[in-house]
Amino acid sequence: MFVLCAGGGTGAISAIGSTRRDLKQGQFDIRALQHKQQMAEITRNRIEEEMRENHPYFDRPLFIIARDSKLRRFCRRFVHARWGFDVGAEMAASGGSGTNGAGRNAAAGGGKRPKQIHSLIGLMPYLDWAMVAITLLSCWSMLLESPWPTTGENLVMFNFYLQIPDYLFVLAMSGELMAKVIADGLFFTPNALVRDFGGVMTVFVYLTSLVFLLLMPKHVEINSVEQFLMICRAMRPLRIYTLVPHIRRVVVELFRGFKEILLVTILMIVVMFIFASFGVQTVGGRLAACNDVNVTRQVDCTGMFWQKIFVTRMEVYGKNSDTLHPKVLVPRVWTNPRNFNFDHIGAAMLALFETLSYKGWNVIRDILWARQGPWAVVFIHIYVFSGCMIGLTLFVGVVIANYTENRGTALLTVDQRRWHDLKARLKMAQPLHIPPKPSESATFRRTLYELTMCRLFNQFFAAMVVLNSATLILPWNVEEEEDKHRLLYIVTALSAILNMLFAVEILLKMLAYTVSGFWQSRRNRIDLLITGMGLFWVITHFFLALPASVVGGETRLKKFTYTFGYIVVILRFFTIAGRNSTLKMLMLTVVMSMLRSFFIIMAMVLLVLFYAYTGVILFGMVKYGQAVSKHVNFRSGFEALVVLFRSVTGEDWNDIMHDTSTDCGNYYGALIYFCSFYLIITYIVRNLLVAIIIENFSLFYSSEEDALLSYADIRNFQQVWNIVDVEQKGQIPIGRVKFLLRLLRGRLEVDPNKDRLLFKHMCYEMEKLHGGDDVSFHDVLYMLSYRSVDIRKSLQLEELLQREELEYIIEEEVAKQTIKTWLEFCLRRLRSPGLPLVPLSALAQNHQQQMAHSAKVAHKTQTAFTFSAKSIYAFDPVTLAAAHSKAALERKQAQNVTGVAGPAQSKAATVRYVYGDETWRRRRMHFRSDFEVNWVALQLCLHHELLPDLADFANEEWGQARRATIASSHAANVGRQQVGQPIIGQLIQR
């Protein structure tokens, strides 16, 4: 739990923060952590500045380029230029030397939030985007490379068109690395190109690509240096890992806890070694047999024999007959089973590793039973239970737990986890886009509106969608029509009737909502499109295709209408999700799962690309066998991708591995290739995807009691937004935010009469973040969510510090605006002596309300920068007018007694009125009383160092005589205001 103590009284404002001794066990001082972070940054900058002063070659790229040279500044602008990032301002802030890192503050800057497309563009610099595009183009050309035909016309060495992307990639990467080296240096600079493993990978990919282009080997042997160079060239897709920060973060988070994964891997290896040793001792050398089933001893397994050939493995007539089936003469061989043996520890561990994927273990069981007896079957069953069901599950669990811990998800508290789920739920929430209800004068439209909004209306048409989908129980094709003509005609006619009903539904909604109101909803637009397609099918099928077939016309049109018809039915079925809130939420959860796992999927695809290129190099010439065939082979990049995506699911990957280890393959290469692929892709990456999907679906199935905001609260906000957003654009002018806040109910309710300070903060936050522009649906929803939770408990450290800094700025600005408003009101009082009369009872009531409201916190849950002296914010002009009504009455009575005129008095009378009159004395006493009420506001100005701004304001608006008069009037009361004395003095002095 994060704690930050703040308080104050009427006399002074307490210091913000808390000492270490005041904190309870398990609590953290947020301000202390923030201070430590700032001090670490200052220390880093100081050390770098000292290094620049004491070491002339520090921060000089290649030790020859000056720190502030024009070439380096130009390269830095070129390298770090991105959307929404001012490189010049960053260089100026860091002294022009890149001390703080150009990419470290890429998201800095307030104001209007960038749109989603702008956020995507600003994800990385323009140069990196260009390199990603060039790298993908080069990867596409590598997919076209193939060793077939054997003449080499599809190899990069002999195809000029395939060499163009390679040359383009090397030239572009040469320019990129040169610019980055000049801008940030190669080694021994704060932001050197080679400062981590990503930089090493970048240089390695560049050098291998360059060397390959320079050598361009024409003949490549197995296990040669040229083949190794081509495999290194195949690592080109991994270059994108170093360019895209989110993919790089996925890899870092995965390997940050590599120690735990390594420990579990060692445990699994130990378990495999134990069972492999047992297998070697019990069945080692005893599984071999003769390929002639009639020979049982090795000494007799010699010579030739006739092998029968069958086209199927099923039982056929005359299977044991020597004359009914073809035969071929083959030599007798005494050999082990095809894909496994236990003759030595290496082969035994390979067989057990294949068994971990539940592939081929039943074959091992059957052979052990047939050749060693039933007792040997117990061995493999125990291994499957302990090694696969328990050990492998433990390995997968550790991988997932390690990833979630490094992401921080597993380490969140209950409140932080709820806030994490709430943000995901808010992201899925969208505006309703429901047109407003027609006026009472439009009786017919109002009736249709209530009908279309009725729950039974939606349930009826949802049932019609299900019934329409049930018409696909029969195949819609011309061949089926010949056998079941009447039944197929009934089914299609029912579908046509339902399409007419859907058209009626669209018509009713258009009449109720109007055409413009109907068009505002995406769901209505999709329904209109599908309904139009359905009407087109009804017309073409029943009025064109069927009559033409009756008279013996062309059946090609009927084939088209049947195909088009069932496509319309399938598309209609997907619209059922929009008719039910639960189904809609489930579909949004699926979409959100795909979006959140997008970068993990991209990382997996890039890794599969690398394996596909490597597979073509290693196994492109493998002959067809039992597993490798015309559908499963590595003869081109596209076919290799198909094989690898099939292997991700574990489909016969071990048989493909054994086939590619012989017949022009590579034995050790096949073992390393397939075992590493299955371990990384299947056991690690695929299970990470499963973990993310489960995490998102746990959000869908979370109960209302665990949520910070219920679905009812979010639904209430959607309805209020639908009322305020008249244009249904998803954005409203910032002036409507106040009206929206007044309409909210439930947990998000904000009462401007009770929570006036909170109301001001919310309005100013929207103005500050958007600069007076329109605000979106999610902008207001996120702002309300932040204000409805205890940010000290719900937010993580970095987000908490950013939020507290924002709230601190908002409170400071609101305080400044409030005090300026008060000073402006005082100016108006000085210039116009008359004020409207307000009853004294209203004055007392307003004063009590102000005192009661001042004790309330500004946040529904007190934040780090919450002061107790918040009554200063409540003095708006209306309240101050009520507070001055009594003094105005006294001034008017004094004027009547002394005979001093009001605004029409002479110049001499005005001078006497200002400097010596009894009325002016009363006026000074009133202003002094007003100042006593508001002295806390001035103290807050001094605390936040805001008085220079207010002093400038006073110098511009007030004359020298008025300020001298105020000073003299308050100097007489200095003794009574001991606490306010230094504040008054500083105000007058400044």
DSSP states along 80-123: H-BTTB-HHHHHHHTTTTTSS-TTTTTT---SSPPPHHHHHHTT
Residue 896 pLDDT grade (very low, low, confident, very high; cuts 50, 70, 90) = low
Six-digit token pair at 480?
């089926």
**Cis-peptide, bond into residue 147, ω within 30° of zero:** no
Q: Give me the pLDDT at residue 938, please.
A: 46
Check if the beta carbon of residue 184 is closer than 8 Å to that of residue 98.
Answer: yes
The proportion of the chain whose per-residue pLDDT surpasses 90, expressed as a percent, equals 35
Six-digit token pair at 286?
């005893």
Query: Distance from CA of residue 613 to its chain's centroid?
Result: 31
For 656-665, the pLDDT digits (tens) are 999 999 888 8
Q: Select the more confidently predicted residue: 250 or 612.
A: 612
Residue 912 pLDDT grade (very low, low, confident, very high; cuts 50, 70, 90) = very low
Residue 755 pLDDT grade (very low, low, confident, very high; cuts 50, 70, 90) = confident
Judge whether residue 12 has pLDDT over 50: no
Six-digit token pair at 735?
């002036």
Judge whether residue 675 has pLDDT over 90: yes
Residue 881 pLDDT grade (very low, low, confident, very high; cuts 50, 70, 90) = very low
Residue 477 pLDDT grade (very low, low, confident, very high; cuts 50, 70, 90) = confident
Label residue 833 left, alpha or beta by phi (over 0 means left) and psi (-120 to 50 means alpha): alpha
Q: Give me the pLDDT at residue 849, please.
A: 55
DSSP state of 748: G
Mean pLDDT within 579-604: 83
Six-digit token pair at 54?
């004491």
Residue 407 pLDDT grade (very low, low, confident, very high; cuts 50, 70, 90) = confident
Check if the beta carbon of residue 488 is closer than 8 Å to that of residue 476.
Answer: yes
Mean pLDDT within 12-34: 51
Check if the beta carbon of residue 863 is closer than 8 Å to that of residue 807.
Answer: yes
Q: Give me the pLDDT at residue 553, please.
A: 60
Q: Give me the pLDDT at residue 703, please.
A: 58
Residue 477 sits at the vertex; the CA angle it makes with 475 and 479, to the nearest 5 degrees, is 100
- Which stretch of DSSP H or E encloses residue 585? helix 581-596
- For the ranges 268-272, 406-410, 533-537, 809-813, which has the lowest average pLDDT? 406-410
Mean pLDDT within 57-73: 88
| Sequential DSSP letters for 729-774 | SSEE-GGGHHHHHHH--GGG---TTT-HHHHHHHHHHHHHHHTTS-
CA distance 597 to 536: 39
Six-digit token pair at 846?
């307003």
Judge whether residue 948 has pLDDT over 60: no
Mean pLDDT within 750-765: 80
Judge whether residue 476 has pLDDT over 50: yes
Mean pLDDT within 169-192: 93
Query: Dihedrals φ, ψ of 773, to 5°?
Result: -80, 180
Check if the beta carbon of residue 883 is closer than 8 Å to that of residue 933.
Answer: yes
Q: Give me the pLDDT at residue 702, please.
A: 62
Six-digit token pair at 237?
């897709």
Nearest C-alpha neighbor of 199 from the set 171, 228, 241: 241
Judge whether residue 359 has pLDDT over 50: yes
Q: Select the more confidently predicted residue: 22 or 370.
A: 370
For 810-861, the pLDDT digits (tens) are 888 888 888 888 888 888 877 765 544 444 445 445 545 544 544 443 344 3
CA distance 647 to 677: 9
CA distance 337 to 369: 13
CA distance 343 to 725: 76
Alpha-carbon dihedral sign for residues 401, 407, 413, 416: negative
- For the ranges 525-534, 830-839, 853-862, 885-894, which has the lowest average pLDDT? 853-862
Q: Give me the pLDDT at residue 579, please.
A: 83
Q: Are strands 28-29 and 2-3 parallel, antiparallel or unpaired?
A: parallel
pTM of the model: 0.75
Mean pLDDT within 238-258: 89
Residue 706 pLDDT grade (very low, low, confident, very high; cuts 50, 70, 90) = low
Residue 275 pLDDT grade (very low, low, confident, very high; cuts 50, 70, 90) = very high
Check if the beta carbon of residue 569 is closer than 8 Å to that of residue 475.
Answer: no
Residue 91 pLDDT grade (very low, low, confident, very high; cuts 50, 70, 90) = low
CA distance 194 to 177: 11
Residues of the chain with CATH 1.10.287: 580-705
Six-digit token pair at 708?
């910070």
Check if the beta carbon of residue 213 is closer than 8 Å to that of residue 165.
Answer: no
Taking all residues of the chain, what is their mean pLDDT, rounded to a whole number? Answer: 78
Alpha-carbon dihedral sign for residues 976, 977, 981, 985: negative
Residue 605 pLDDT grade (very low, low, confident, very high; cuts 50, 70, 90) = very high
Residues of the chain with CATH 1.20.120.350: 443-579
Alpha-carbon dihedral sign for residues 77, 79, 81, 86: negative
Query: Dihedrals φ, ψ of 334, to 5°?
Result: -95, 110
User: For the structural domain made of 443-579, what CATH number should be given?
Assistant: 1.20.120.350
Q: Give me the pLDDT at residue 898, please.
A: 46
For 716-750, the pLDDT digits (tens) are 898 899 888 888 788 898 888 888 888 888 888 88
For 127-179, the pLDDT digits (tens) are 999 999 999 999 999 999 999 998 889 999 999 999 999 999 999 999 999 99
**Range with the largest mean pLDDT of 102-116, 292-306, 757-771:** 292-306
Judge whether residue 185 has pLDDT over 60: yes
Q: Give me the pLDDT at residue 410, please.
A: 75
Residue 831: what residue type? R
Six-digit token pair at 698?
């746990």
**Does CATH number 1.10.287 belong to domain 580-705?**
yes
